Amino acid sequence: MGVSVEDDGETRGAKARTRRLMVTTAIGLMQRGETPSVSGVAEAAGVSRATAYRCFPSQAALVQTVVDEALGPILGWTSSSTSASERVDDLLSSSFARIVEFESTFKAALKLSLEQWAQDRAGTLGEGEAFKRGHRVELLQKAIEPLRAELGNKRFLRLARALSLTYGLEVLIVLKDMWGLSSRQMQETARWAAKAMVDAALSEARNETIASGAKTGGAQG
């Protein structure tokens, strides 16, 4: 006998609820500083291991889903401004509150990333899926998109990479954990540094354009 549409819908609904329960449970564990395995989350959530692994085939898949959930609205960030400096400032100012709120979750994910890096170096990682970070790569390039034509590809990418030092969990680790700054001071410092980088990239590109024009004019004269 075939599965009815109603039964199939119930199955999908049950899986979605189980998946939601596991993500919520994992966030709770990671907010306490743990980096749970799939089986660990299954036990905490009261879900069978077989069911848990059908939802998340690996620890990397589970943690990636949790990180995306914690990032929330940051992943859908957009801006109507045509000023790259304003766009970068908006991205940073709108992101840091969320990053601070889920700091423990992101640190637990970073711990997993570092552990897997060490395992890979030691040749013990195996063939399982590895957890990968990198949302800031796309977000920062989106933020400075208005400068792509003016900077050219090489300078554009250099600026995006430099801005990576002012955005994300690492900023909290350096400015809050090492320097002891408050969340407000941390954000102000990061936003100041980001603006300085954008201004420097623009100044460099425009000065080179002026110099190039002067040389061309001199050669023609």
Q: Is residue 218 assigned to a domain?
A: no
pLDDT for residue 135: 95
pLDDT for residue 129: 81
pLDDT for residue 126: 83
Same domain (yes/no): 53, 75:
no
pLDDT for residue 86: 98
Which range of residues forms the domain containing residue 3?
1-57
Same domain (yes/no): 105, 174:
yes
Same domain (yes/no): 166, 111:
yes
Measure the CA–CA gap between 214 and 97, rounded to whole angstroms.
47
Q: How far is CA 22 from the centre of its chain?
A: 21
What 3-state class would DSSP assign to 120?
helix
Q: Is residue 64 assigned to a domain?
A: no
CA distances from 166 to 96, 99, 114 (A): 11, 13, 20
CA distances from 17 to 14, 55, 129, 209 (A): 5, 10, 24, 58
Q: How many domains does the chain divide into?
A: 2
Mean pLDDT by 10 residues, the chain (221 residues): 51 88 97 95 96 95 96 96 98 96 96 94 86 94 97 97 97 98 97 98 92 62 51
Dihedral class, residue 126 (left if φ above 0, else alpha if ψ from -120 to 50, else beta)? left
pLDDT for residue 47: 96
pLDDT for residue 128: 75
Measure the CA–CA gap between 172 and 195, rounded to whole angstroms.
18
